[in-house]
Structure 1
Amino acid sequence: MPDFALEFLDITCTFKSPQDPKQPQEHGYTAVANTTLRIRAGEFVSVVGPTGCGKSTLLNVGAGLLAPSSGTVQVFGEPLPGINIRAGYMFQSEALMPWRSAIDNVMVGLQYRGVPDAEARRQAQAWLQRVGLGEFGERYPHQLSGGMRKRTALAQVLALDPDIILMDEPFSALDIQTRQLMENEVLELWAAKKKAVLFITHDLDEAIAMSDRVVVLSAGPATHPMGEFEIDLPRPRDVAEVRTQPRFIELHSQIWSVLRDEVLKGYAQQLKKAA
């Protein structure tokens, strides 16, 4: 098996202006420029950067939902021809169908893959059990708390047993206590099977606490990696307890020294747009 589960090789993403869709692509808005990023099989990588810098664009490229303007994406050493069928995607807002119960939401991906209903239900129930929702399978999304909906969405992704997990700020809307519980649950489930994870977050503490490696992106437009940091904190980790360790504080200081300037640039650009 190739060393890398997911590779972004010299990726550039340029979007045409909606005011002038006939303009040459090179005159549009470049969200991501000349970006190379590799995620090893079994590695947990977090990407941090200023608001609007193109983090989600990069994730969509990795999912095969967006074709880059130039560059290539490889999945386990093979070019990605379209949708990344070896990846599961956990969105920032839950992609739960409100008319389906929790167990029916978890089943749906298995059903699309042709798994018989009875077996899909059995597997879905097992995953709900693993994320602490074994007794809540018949409840609908509006009957679940925010944390419970996130657990359902997580079970929905993991039930497909993807080789790569893409996560786009999945816990940003949760309160701090629920967020830390979810972070620890993800780490526990990840440790059991060691899938490749590409995790997008605005929270540097979260990125350090969870990851093997943290990648800092520059402010947009034309975002690109500004630095990569190996996170050598011992595992297993508790995301609350690890933040008190001297090495965590040292890593935070090192990464923030790179990230801070980019956040200030991004903030200045947002103010300029609003003016």
Structure 2
Amino acid sequence: MATPDQPALALQDVTCTFASRENRRDRYTAVRDTTLLIAPGEFVSVVGPTGCGKSTLLNISAGLLQSSSGTVSVFGEPLKGINRRAGYMFQADALMPWRSALDNVTAGLAFEGMPKDEARSRGEAWLKRVGLSGFGDRYPHQLSGGMRKRVAMAQTLILDPDIILMDEPFSALDIQTRQLMENELLELWAAKRKAVLFITHDLDEAISMSDRVVVLSAGPGTHPIGEFAIDLPRPRDVAEIRSHPRFVELHAQIWGVLREEVLKGYQQQLKPAVAN
């Protein structure tokens, strides 16, 4: 039985090792001895070099990937299989091209067996909440990138998950659309204060949105090397908050830890090219 003081999501001493398809004896450890706790209602961002294993942690949290060692628990209960208390918003569009925006938003409700009229009513309400009222009959190819992201966000949040997992969801958007989406997400999050694990490579984005930022080392064997409480006032506008003196201080502190790892990650990416 979960208690109020238990984390919404707890990864304890998690290690994840993959075997090569060509040679099973060749093994790669993406994540090593990582502990990450997220409290109910807490917005936590994870930053690190490209390819360091951020998405691996997210997939473990979602139950899409099983760790080689360590434990994962959700509100005090061991995670077995898919994390049914989490909603997952992917980096790439996960919309079904043959379904309208409304049908994409209500897909999860339909799979759960909700009556069609009730699902439609909820879907229309969520489209309105994300600024797409009147666009329910449009198909993904008829929507802009920002509009597709709004549909994906509604598709995730309509199920009212206790934990929201987000894998660089706005990285493909232009800066203006991205900031609009970030503010919309913060507004929706503030209404119900669900636990959020947000993966990003953008330090500005992480600081402007989060309660806490966790820094990962370069891979292989990535693990947390820094953790920073973000004590900026809420509510926040992600563009305006970046001129706040405390934002500038936090950015300098976190970048001081992250910079060397980014350089390490960059050098590791160059090695295969040099070898070829």
Q: TM-score range by the shorter chain?
A: over 0.9
Q: How much has 1:2 moved relative to structure 2?
A: 3.5
Aligned-partner Cα distance in 1 for 2:161–2:33:
27
**Counterpart secondary structure, 1:172:** coil
Aligned-partner Cα distance in 1 for 2:273–2:184:
39
8 A contact 1:2–1:77 mirrored in 2? no
Identity %: 76
Aligned-partner Cα distance in 2 for 1:200–1:183:
13
Q: How much has 1:10 moved relative to structure 2?
A: 0.4
Aligned-partner Cα distance in 2 for 1:274–1:192:
47
Structure 2 partner of 1:262: 261
Map Cα deviations across residues 39-58 of structure 1 (whole Å, 9 max, x no partner): 00000000000000000000
Q: Amino acid of the residue matched to residue 6 of structure 1?
A: L
Structure 1 partner of 2:158: 159
**Counterpart secondary structure, 1:214:** strand
Map Cα deviations across residues 239-271 of structure 1 (whole Å, 9 max, x no partner): 000000100000000000000000000000001
Matches within 5 A, 1:133-152: 133-152=132-151
Aligned counterpart for 2:10 among listed residues 7, 28, 47: 7
1:119 has 2:118 as partner:
yes
Aligned-partner Cα distance in 2 for 1:7–1:114:
30
Structure 1 partner of 2:247: 248
* Aligned residues between the structures: 271
1:77 has 2:83 as partner:
no
TM-score (norm 1): 0.98
Aligned-partner Cα distance in 2 for 1:112–1:33:
36
Structure 2 partner of 1:183: 182
8 A contact 1:92–1:169 mirrored in 2? yes
Q: Amino acid of the residue matched to residue 71 of structure 1?
A: G
**Counterpart secondary structure, 1:162:** coil
> Which has the higher mean CA deviation after the structures are superposed, 112-121 or 60-69?
112-121
> Which has the higher mean CA deviation after the structures are superposed, 111-120 or 170-179?
111-120
Structure 1 partner of 2:97: 98
Map Cα deviations across residues 52-109 of structure 1 (whole Å, 9 max, x no partner): 0000000000000000000110000000011000000000011100000000001110
8 A contact 1:49–1:219 mirrored in 2? yes
TM-score (norm 2): 0.97
Structure 2 partner of 1:42: 41
Aligned-partner Cα distance in 1 for 2:83–2:4:
17
Where structure 1 has 5 or more consecutive residues not aligned to the other structure, the ranges are none
Deviating 4+ runs (over 2 angstroms): none
Aligned-partner Cα distance in 2 for 1:35–1:181:
33
Cα distance, 1:79–1:2 mapped onto 2, change above 3 Å: farther
